[in-house]
Structure 1
Amino acid sequence: MTDRQPSEPSGPTEPSGPSGRPAPPPPPGRLRHRPLSPLREHLRESFWVAPLVTCVLAVLLALGTSWIDSEVVHEEISETGSAEGLLSFASGAKAVVSTVSSAMLTFIGVVFSISLVALQMAASQMSPRVLRLYVRSRITKATFSTCLATFLFTLLVQLGYDDTTDPTKVTTVPVVSTLVAVVLVLLSLGLFVLYVQSTMRLLRVPHVIDRVTRESVAVLTTYRWMAPEAGPRLEPPTDAVTLLHQGNSGVLRDVSLGRLVRIARKHGAVLHLVPRIGDFIAPGTPTVVVSGGTPPRPGRIAGALNIGVDRTMHQDLSFGFRQLVDIAIRALSPAVNDPTTAVQAVDRIHQLLALLAGYPFGELRYRDRAGAVRLVQPIPDWQCTVDLAFTEIRICGAGQPQVSRRLTAAMDDLLRITPDERRPPLLAQRDLLERAVAAEVAEADNRAFALTPDRQGIG
């Protein structure tokens, strides 16, 4: 294994070898991966940051345009001695801004309420986990933020209206403010069209499956660059100290690896993480095993753990498989009965397992700046990954020949490309699939048909 410092910056995408399989990692001195701090992912998972920033910008923009308008009116009056031309523009401008202000908030509420209802229906058809794609969507945040900013901007502009009809007493006319409001409306409409297109894509199962797969490939690529050790796990010494969790209960979403390395270096110890990313932990659950040095306070360890109510893709190698399996087994439920969707999910599961076929499993180890190992993180092994990928789909889809044929083709293909030491889990799944089909299908000819490999299921 090649150990990396968590502070190294991100780098190039993973190259491919002549056969299409991923090329071996570059030498340790050239190894790079994306930053390990979870702050960026936390911001992407939140929906309030972008609207808050754009609303602040809208306030500043309203103040700026109001100042420019007052300067324009002052200069116009100074040059012509009258503001009659500006007053003729003011009546129409005020009507436009007032209309935009009153209509925009209603537009936001109606459009996004209908969209959330549609997405909730889509989640019931696929999996509740897919709603995170909507929350993380950049176009969704941009549309919502721009519409809110437009409403706030036009509302603030109206506060600066001068209602006088005497040209000699005019102090301001919203010329620039009106033009900016019109630009914001046009931008909101353009983003709305893109938002509708993006939402329609999120309501289609193939696009959701593709998004989940692309995120999973990104996570797998990141961990491949971090080069986990292929050998046996490092067992902490017998005199190691186990620290128990002190904090809220929930799912371990991710950990601040850089912070844990700094804590371990400060105490001259090595921290062995006990739970994997995605595990549920409660107060009293073992979190780290400390070997060497002095144990840190449990509260400091808890501060480096991000505990939430659901899982995220960041640092979670198994969550992509979990989402694809959920989509497949929901499609195979009697309420939905859509084996074609299950086959599409199996296609992507096959893709991810093929990427992992030559992947070295074991542990991730992180070094401090002096080169000493300070943090050891467990990741799922090949057996766990294969079981997660196939077991539930095999049980639910044994009576669907389209699914069983696609599973057979995937397993046979993976058996051809995996090393010999990784074939037993696949062979076990292949045997269990044959027994499950035999239990569901009584006639021999139908059983033979159901177990014939077919990459399209039936077609």
Structure 2
Amino acid sequence: MTDSRPAPARHRGRLRPLSPLREHLREAFWFAPLLGCAGAVLLAGVTLWLDEQAVRVTVRETGTADDLVNFTTAAQSIVSTVSSAMLTFIGVVFSISLVSLQMAASQFSPRVLRLYVRSRLTKATFASCLATFVFTLLVQLGYEDTDDPALVISVPVASTLVALLLVFLSLGLFVLYVQATLRLLRVPHVIDRVTRESLSVLAGYRLLGPATGPAAGLLPPDGAAVQLLHEGHPGVLRGIDITRLVRLARRNGAVLHLVPRIGDFIAPGTPTVLVAGGTAPRPRRVAAALSIGVDRTMHQDLSFGFRQLVDIAIRALSPATNDPTTAVQAVDRIHQLLALLAPYEIGELRHRDAAGDVRLVQPVPEWPRTVELAFTEIRLCGADQPQVTRRLAAALGDLLRIAPEARCAPLLVQRALLQRAVEEHVTDPAGRAFALEPDRQGIG
């Protein structure tokens, strides 16, 4: 259990605030390209206006627009070439993205596809390429089919320069996009990315501070609490708007006990909140503070980080792949996360209002369940791989030295199960001793 502390000025020490709109836009692939196209339309209007002003200034100062007319033919050729080539370039970028997604899903896990979908660089590359195409297309509409300087109203000087700048920007982003895509196709970088996101969630837990004992008196006896049922769409609980729920509980003079954990599937009629004291808020107000989606995210879900690392490891251990080294790399990061999590009491997060009163109690996976999630499937799939069992033995040995004594029981259970699994798969005594010898590199 973890207790959040009130701050003098505003409520601090809580998990990252949930913004459903921001989360939706980060996962939506249409927003950035659409924004880029809208910007291209505005930019085209501005540059066409500047082209008209350039002709007026030139005619006023020199009395003729002959020099600008000579520039028109070359400018039209450049912009037309950019417009036709950029559409093909967009197809290349899109093809690379599809191939990357397919390879990532088959090599790592379908859960890691979110790294590609949420990539800001990928969206910026698409937005830049589409903006360049739309800009050059609109600029060509402003061309004038005349060679008479007296009839010239505008010459695409500014439009051509802006088009060239957009081309250079698109090429630069494309180079960075290819580099980032190649990095995300390598196992160590994907594992590192998942770990860094998990650490950001873990940092929110650590900011909440250590536990202060059971929340006595917060939850009334059985039958005394009002149970609210979910009335929204079914889906996975991806996150909660802590600020809204705390404000809602304070307004009703109650304490809200969230029933499902982040990552649980919620169907209509599923209990979502137990209300202790005060008056029960409307279920729809509670549902408005819950982010429901089709899959899990890393926003407030530490277990999802472990889930992705475990999925990468067991996929690498499948007979079709047979890559124990990748599994060892995943165990390295699982070891890292558990070592950081070991000193902290989890199982319940308590969020307080500005007055310091507990208003929201949120369940999170306890230490034993987290240890089971981290090791069970990898142990079952890698019991016949000495490289994996040696790395698991080293991780469990280190965690037993790091974790407080009260938290060693689940680790001891996992070590005993590892020994039993190795004994079932390795009949030779020398081979069993080798497979159970702790080694941080597996088999160096």
The answer for unaligned runs of 5 or more in structure 1 is 10-28
2:58 to 54, 64, 76: 76
1:380 matched to 2:390? The reply is no
Residue 250 of structure 1 aligns with which residue? 235
2:87 to 105, 112, 129: 105
Q: CA deviation at 1:226?
A: 1.8
Residue 329 of structure 1 aligns with which residue? 314
Call closer, same or farther: CA 1:381–1:35 in 2, change over 3 Å. Answer: closer
Q: CA deviation at 1:324?
A: 0.2
Percentage of pairs with the same residue: 69
Residue 419 of structure 1 aligns with which residue? 404
Contact 1:140 1:195 in 2 (8 A): yes
Residue 86 of structure 1 aligns with which residue? 68
Q: CA deviation at 1:292?
A: 1.1
Alpha-carbon separation, structure 2, partners of 1:145 and 1:114: 15
1:162 matched to 2:144? The reply is yes
Moved more, 44-53 or 446-455: 44-53
Residue 14 of structure 1 aligns with which residue? none
RMSD: 1.8
Q: CA deviation at 1:272?
A: 0.4
Alpha-carbon separation, structure 2, partners of 1:7 and 1:149: 47
Contact 2:15 2:205 in 1 (8 A): no
The C-alpha deviation readout for 1:115-155, integer Å capped at 9, x for no partner, is: 22232122211101111111222221221111111111111
The C-alpha deviation readout for 1:40-78, integer Å capped at 9, x for no partner, is: 444333323322222222221111111111000111122
The answer for unaligned runs of 5 or more in structure 2 is none
Residue 363 of structure 1 aligns with which residue? 348
Q: CA deviation at 1:81?
A: 2.4
Q: CA deviation at 1:296?
A: 1.1
1:237 matched to 2:220? The reply is yes
Alpha-carbon separation, structure 1, partners of 2:256 and 2:95: 47
Residue 387 of structure 2 aligns with which residue? 402
DSSP-derived class of the 2:183 partner: helix
The C-alpha deviation readout for 1:405-455, integer Å capped at 9, x for no partner, is: 000000011101111110110000000000001001111110111000001
User: Which residues in structure 2 correspond to 1:39-438 (within 5 Å)?
Assistant: 39=20, 40-227=22-209, 229=211, 231-232=213-214, 236-238=219-221, 239-438=224-423
Residue 440 of structure 2 aligns with which residue? 455
The C-alpha deviation readout for 1:203-251, integer Å capped at 9, x for no partner, is: 0001000000011111101121022635335562131100010011110
Contact 2:4 2:14 in 1 (8 A): no
Contact 2:16 2:204 in 1 (8 A): no
Look up the equivalent residue of 1:59 and give its one-letter code: V
Call closer, same or farther: CA 1:41–1:364 in 2, change over 3 Å. Answer: same
Call closer, same or farther: CA 1:228–1:258 in 2, change over 3 Å. Answer: farther
Aligned residue pair count: 439
DSSP-derived class of the 1:366 partner: strand
Q: CA deviation at 1:6?
A: 10
Look up the equivalent residue of 2:127 and give its one-letter code: S
1:36 matched to 2:17? The reply is yes
Call closer, same or farther: CA 1:296–1:7 in 2, change over 3 Å. Answer: farther
Task: Give TM-score, length-normalised by structure 2.
Answer: 0.95
List structure 1 segments (4+ residues) > 6 angstroms apart after TM superposition. 6-9
Alpha-carbon separation, structure 2, partners of 1:95 and 1:32: 59
Moved more, 256-265 or 429-438: 256-265
Alpha-carbon separation, structure 1, partners of 2:31 and 2:145: 36
Alpha-carbon separation, structure 2, partners of 1:421 and 1:231: 15
Contact 1:269 1:292 in 2 (8 A): yes
Call closer, same or farther: CA 1:94–1:158 in 2, change over 3 Å. Answer: same
DSSP-derived class of the 1:252 partner: strand
Look up the equivalent residue of 2:319 and give its one-letter code: P
Greater RCO (Cα-Cα under 8 Å, separation 6 or more): 2
Moved more, 276-285 or 221-230: 221-230
Look up the equivalent residue of 2:122 and give its one-letter code: T
Alpha-carbon separation, structure 2, partners of 1:269 and 1:228: 24
Alpha-carbon separation, structure 2, partners of 1:419 and 1:189: 53
Look up the equivalent residue of 1:354 and give its one-letter code: A
Contact 1:227 1:360 in 2 (8 A): no
Alpha-carbon separation, structure 1, partners of 2:236 and 2:8: 25
Call closer, same or farther: CA 1:177–1:4 in 2, change over 3 Å. Answer: farther
Alpha-carbon separation, structure 2, partners of 1:290 and 1:260: 12
Alpha-carbon separation, structure 2, partners of 1:399 and 1:334: 11
Call closer, same or farther: CA 1:35–1:406 in 2, change over 3 Å. Answer: closer
